[in-house]
Amino acid sequence: MARQTRSEATRRKLLDAAIEVFTEVGCVGTARASIIERAGVTKGALYHHFETMEALVAEMMGAHHQYPDGAVLYLGTMFAPIEDRDAPGQGFTHHLGDVVSIASEKLGTLTNVVTTCDQAPPWTFGTGALMRNLAKRGLL
């Protein structure tokens, strides 16, 4: 296996392991050692690809992965469609231009039009803004 291919495979192992561990214990409770053990790589490999835990988390929330629903999709969601869309056995995937809404009686509705991440407007409503909004509406 070429060096670049091995490096990409190691990076993918680390990301997959991190997502699994984050899912089990949360970002705050995740230790580097847990990710290293789960990925079956060395400590050096982790630091080679991600110098900090923040860099590892940022892999899900960067210029082309700016929306938190990307993280939710990695972690699983009760809103994921389960029926095939285009052909039997091909699963479900959104198409550009699809209008996607999720709703809760108390929280309201979140509606987005599917586009590519590089074409989506920057996300400016962060976690702090969400908590203030929920508190203002008496939902916390």
- What average pLDDT does the segment 118-139 reach? 79
More confident residue, 60 or 11: 11
Query: What contacts 24+ positions apart, CB below 8 Å, involve 85-92?
Result: none
Helix (H) or strand (E) holding 69: helix 68-75
Q: CATH 1.10.10.60 spans which residues of the chain? A: 3-58
Q: How far apart are CA 90 and CA 108, in angstroms?
A: 31
> Does residue 84 carry a pLDDT above 90?
no
> Does residue 25 carry a pLDDT above 60?
yes
Q: How far apart are CA 56 and CA 49, in angstroms?
A: 8
More confident residue, 50 or 122: 50
- What average pLDDT does the segment 24-51 reach? 89
Mean pLDDT of the chain: 78
**How confident is the model at residue 44, as a pLDDT?**
94
**How confident is the model at residue 27, as a pLDDT?**
67
CATH topology of domain 3-58: Arc Repressor Mutant, subunit A (1.10.10)
Q: How far apart are CA 133 and CA 119, in angstroms?
A: 26
Strand partners for 112: 100
Tell me the C-alpha to C-alpha distance, in Å, between residue 94 and each of 31, 45, 80, 81.
Answer: 34, 35, 11, 10
- What average pLDDT does the segment 117-126 reach? 74
Confidence of residue 63 (pLDDT cuts 50, 70, 90): low
Radius of gyration of the chain (CA): 18
**How confident is the model at residue 103, as a pLDDT?**
78
Query: Contact, 32 vs 46, CB < 8 A?
Result: yes
